[in-house]
Amino acid sequence: MGNTLQDDALPNNNTLLGADELVLNMGPQHPSTHGVLRVKLKLDGERVRGTECVIGYLHRGVEKIAENRTYQQFAPYVDRMDYVAAVSNGLGYCEAVEKLLNVEAPPRARVIRTILTELQRIASHLVWLGTHALDIGALTPLFYCMREREEILKIFEKYCGARLTTHAFRIGGLQYEAYDGFEKDVERFCLDFERRIQEYVDLLTGNSIWIGRTRNVGILNAADCIALGASGPILRAAGVKWDLRKAQPYAAYDQYKFEIPVGTNGDTYDRYMVRIEEMRQSRLICLQAIEKIPEGAIMGKVGKVIKPPAGEVYHSIEAPKGILGYYIVSDGGTQPYRVRIRPPSFINLQALDKMVRGHLVADVVAIIGTLDIVLGEVDR
Amino acid sequence: MNPTLHAILVFLQTWWVELTCGVVIVAVVPLVAGYVVLVERKLMADMQARLGPMRVGPHGLLQPIADAVKLLIKEDIIPDEADKFIFWLAPVISMVAALTSMGAIAFGPSFQVARDINIGILFVLGVSSLGFLGIILGGWASNSHYSILGALRSTAQLVSYETAGGLAIISGLLLSGTLSISGIVAAQEKHHVWFIFLAPVAAFIYLAASIAETNRAPFDLPEAESELVAGYMTEYSGFRWALYFLGEYANMIVVGSVATTLFLGGWLRPFPNVHWLNWLDFLPALIIALIGVYSIYRAGKQPVKIQTGFMWAVALACFAVAFVFAAPWLIQLLHKFGLAGSLSLDFVIPGLNGAFWFLLKVSAYIYVFMWLRFTLPRYRFDQLMHLGWYILIPLAIVNVFAVGVAMLLEANGLNRWLAMILTLIVVLASAIFLVRWHDRRTESASTASLAPDSYAG
């Protein structure tokens, strides 16, 4: 992220008391850096004059591991990048390999994938909302969010046996048929969820302290977003209506009606409103999808040994945190020659320095929260 | 007799009440503070759809004791770079200030903790403010960036909110005309009204200021966990940390007591002058007995035998206390049948019942603290300062004048409530003006336009 601590020096350091700048080391052990992010802050009093992100504490070399695993073997590894949204990671990877193989998952698999991915989006946004509110000092929403997330994780558990790193999808479709009562569980959750969202909204949206802490904090306008490559809710909060689910439909998104919420100001409050509205839209997508899940096979025509033809493919999906892209190069063997992942968290984190300059220490945690980063994905 | 021994005896003879009180405060307040923490955790759990401490004792009733033991046996760490003496001294100052200020508080007409001094409320405020010295010194002595930021925040916060709180208290003192704690309560008895009804704005300002003074959310910036890790306490652990912690909770009890004394009628029961409500005097005994009954009911539902026994013990303790509360009336009853001879415990009634009502009000006050903590996000530092200097302090000043004018009008023959309402309208109007003015100021200060809620759904 560049050594930004050096520039943007104070014009006048010779104050009466000889007060110097303070370099505060935030993290990697800090309650609200969302993992092992380390931010060096250059402070003038409480005002932030510059930041430097130090990342890599959770680096596992996921991309390198891919080169020594078969295509199927690598699928569970992607779950461990953004472990808050494992299902979305898996969807991106499976679809990328399918594109490489030139096969398509059957319609039933695609609809079930869509349902699970949208549930995962809700779960991911719930974790974001809870921790973001906690960073800003509201203790209670976290537990409400976790309560609803638990319902989603239960559906995952019933579907594939795992709750966090699900490995729910397989290349070519699904391994598991939807369990009996799957639709009913999803429907029950979705019907209940509208009321639950209202609880968070009641606690936060109109709260003057919340508005004071989030409005005009960490503004990132559309031009900056695009220049920095920021995507997902951050981009949409700046007013850019760009969502891959609409722009380049994948899975079964072209069959459903939903809105892309956008903000105007690109501040923390707008990002909050965008994500809240996205949860509502995800809920609507789920409700539409369970109405009619097509019958048929759940696995496409994929052999036991996956041996894609030599070539390369780039496939990106709209993960909860932004655009998640997989670039896979095949040399015709059973293992990928190279896998390059475009993680939304890593790229969104670049915006941190631009967003926090001139703000106070308290805003730094609010802005880290609003970026919705997961360090597993940043460091990979 | 040995002159030294004689001097000691004379000293003890003169000061034994105060000494005993000191020992009692030191022994009891930490325990009470520990249980306030337990209550807070339980309330928080209840509001957050979970159970809270459940493991140590039935429903976690022994959790504070387990916590205290754990903190006592923890390794005592002093950072190498710290100023060791001040690092040692700072939590002691915090704790001592909080405990000392309890000395002047009165739980009932005959239940003064130490002595009824004629500047009671001033003493409490002054001494409890000294506690901030402990925070500032601790933050400085730790030699850590987080600590010093926390200490700086608390300094600024203290200066701002002590001012607002002090001005709010002046409004109450104007009404009572005395600084003595028993005098203030007597004045409310004489006026037949709690001062919160005569000066609601002052009570509200004091509530906000006292939350800020005790470093509680939404004003808990000096120790904001998500920002400064633990603020001034970052480098503290084990028992030194516990001293800070106890100091904070003891301080909550102190500000709660001040607010109760000044605005909520102290130890007076609701409507002390209405005779047909005299049955309220039985309420303390009844409520405590009901808690005992509930404990017995719960005892049967405990999974472990020892917990059942513990609940029975709680129930028996409740009955014993209820019996003490009821004893004076039982003896009166015996008198009716000519059985009790010359025995009379009537003098106990105002004291015991007063303590009950007083503690009930303090609890309610502390409950509001906790409730706000679970509900509200935290203010940012500049917002806190703006709220203090642009809104609360001007409003408190206006309110002092308003209360004075109301008293003047009343002295000139106007109905008290009419005078009160007239001045209240002025105060509220100025409050609205201040908030609007401040909003406009901040709005014009920020360059970006505000986002409309077009997609709020």
Tell me the DSSP string of B144-170. -HHHHHHHHHHHHHHHHHHHHHHHHHH
pLDDT band with cut points at 50, 70 and 90 for residue A125: very high
Q: Are the Cβ atoms of B44 and A280 closer than 8 angstroms? A: no
Cα–Cα distance measured from residue A113 to residue A89, given in angstroms and rounded to the nearest whole number: 12
What pLDDT is recorded for position A126? 92
Tell me how far apart the alpha carbons of residues A346 and A327 are, in angstroms, rounded to a whole number. 16
Residues of B in contact with A212 (CB under 8 A): 379-380, 383
pLDDT of residue B446: 54
| A155: three-class secondary structure by DSSP | helix
CA-angle at B436, arms to B432 and B440, nearest 5°: 170
Task: Answer whether residue B225 shows pLDDT above 80.
Answer: no
d(CA B423, nearest CA chain A) in Å: 27
**Least confident interval from A36-40, A68-72, B344-348, B405-409:** B344-348
Mean pLDDT estimate for chain A: 85
CB–CB of A144 and B49 under 8 A?
yes
**CB proximity under 8 Å: A 71-110 to B:** none
Amino acid at residue number B329: W
Average pLDDT over residues B381-387: 83
Instruction: Please say whether the beta carbons of A89 and A120 come within 8 A.
Output: no
Nearest to A24 among B145, B446, B448 (CB): B145
Is residue A6 scored above 60 in pLDDT? no
- Report the relative pairing of strands A322-330 and A338-342 from DSSP bridges: antiparallel
Average pLDDT over residues B344-371: 79
CB–CB of A269/A295 below 8 Å? no
Question: What is the distance between the alpha carbons of residues B388 and B405, in angstroms, rounded to a whole number?
Answer: 24
Question: Could you tell me the pLDDT band of residue B380, with boundaries at 50, 70 and 90?
Answer: confident
A329 part of contact set with chain B, CB < 8 Å: no
Q: Which residues of A touch B380 (CB under 8 A)?
A: 212-213, 360, 362-363
Least confident range from A192-206, B42-56, B335-349: namely B335-349
Whether residue A105 has pLDDT greater than 60: yes
- Closest residue of A to B376, CA-based? A138
Phi-psi label, residue A311: left if phi above 0, alpha if psi -120 to 50, beta otherwise: left
Rounded to a whole number, what is the distance in Å from the CA of A115 to chain B's nearest CA? 22
Q: Which residues from A are below 8 Å from B377, CB to CB?
A: 133, 136-138, 204, 207, 209-210, 213
Which residues partner with A26 through β-bridges?
A39
Q: Is A212 on the interface with B (CB under 8 A)?
A: yes
d(CA B196, CA A245): 58
Closest CA–CA distance from residue B376 to any residue of chain A (Å) = 5
Model confidence at B448, pLDDT cuts 50, 70, 90, reads very low
Q: State mean pLDDT over B271-285.
A: 74
* B206 touches A at CB < 8 Å: no
Structure tokens that stand for B396 in this block:
């408190």
Among B211, B221, B134, CA closest to B168? B211
What ipTM does the predicted assembly reach?
A: 0.78
Nearest by CB to A140, which of B47, B383, B449?
B47
Residues of A in contact with B146 (CB under 8 A): 24
By Cβ distance, the residue of B47, B226, B379 closest to A209 is: B379
3-state secondary structure of A263: coil
Which region among A38-47, A335-344, B277-286 has the lowest average model confidence (pLDDT)?
Answer: B277-286
% of residues, chain B, pLDDT over 90: 1
Q: Which residues numbered 209-238 in B keep a CB inside 8 Å of some CB on A?
A: 217-218, 220-221, 224-229
- State which residue of chain B sits closest to A211, comparing Cα positions: B377
Residue A143: list chain B partners with CB under 8 A: 48-50
Find the helix or strand (DSSP H, E) in which A325 lies. strand A322-330
Length of chain A: 380
| Identity of the residue numbered A310 | A
Residues 355-374 of A with CB under 8 A from B: 360-365
Size of interface A-B (CB pairs under 8 A): 118
Residue among B452, B355, B415 at smallest CA distance from B107: B355
Tens of pLDDT, residues B415-445: 778 878 888 888 888 888 888 888 777 766 5
- Does B450 contact A at CB distance below 8 Å? yes
Across chain B, mean pLDDT equals 80
What backbone phi and psi angles, to 5 degrees, belong to A287?
Answer: -65, -40
pTM reported for the whole predicted model = 0.82
Chain A hits for B443, Cβ within 8 Å? none
| Confidence check: pLDDT of A8 > 50 | no
pLDDT the model gives residue A122: 92
Task: Tell me if A55 sits within 8 A of A27, measured CB to CB.
Answer: no
- Asked if the Cβ–Cβ distance from B48 to A361 is below 8 Å, we say no
For range B330-347, the mean pLDDT? 68
Residue B116: what pLDDT? 66
Pairwise CA distance, residues A103 & A119, whole Å: 25
Instruction: State both tokens at A296.
Output: 């048929």
User: What percent of chain B is modeled with pLDDT above 70?
Assistant: 90
C-alpha A278/C-alpha B454 separation (Å) is 14
Give yes or no for B456 touching A (CB within 8 A): yes
What does the alpha-carbon distance between residue A87 and residue A166 come to, in Å, rounded to a whole number?
A: 6
Task: Supply the DSSP string of B36-51, one letter for each residue.
Answer: HHHHHHHHHHHHTTS-
CA A316 to chain centre: 13
Tens digits of residue pLDDT in B88-142: 888 888 888 888 888 777 777 765 665 667 777 888 888 888 888 888 888 888 8
Determine the Cα–Cα distance for residues A295 and A108; give it in Å rounded to an integer.
Answer: 6
| pLDDT score of A11 more than 80 | no
Residue A45 has pLDDT above 80, yes or no: no
- Measured distance CA(B5)–CA(A65) in Å, rounded: 83
**A264 CA: distance to closest CA in chain B (Å):** 6
Is the CB of A263 less than 8 angstroms away from the CB of B455? Answer: yes
Q: How far apart are CA A193 and CA A284, in angstroms?
A: 10
Residues pairing with A322 in the sheet: A319
Partner-chain contact A147 B378, CB within 8 Å: no
- Region B284-312: what's the mean pLDDT? 81
A17 touches chain B (CB under 8 A): no
| pLDDT value at B190 more than 60 | yes
Q: Tokens 């506690």 label which residue?
A: B131
Domains identified in chain A and CATH numbers = 102-304+350-379 (1.10.645.10)
What's residue B452's pLDDT?
36
What is the pLDDT confidence band of residue A327, given thresholds at 50, 70 and 90?
A: very high
List, as one string, the DSSP characters of B315-368.
Answer: HHHHHHHHHHHHHHHHHHHHHHTT-STT---TTHHHHHHHHHHHHHHHHHHHHH
Interface test with B, best of A17, A203, A361 (most B CBs within 10 A): A361
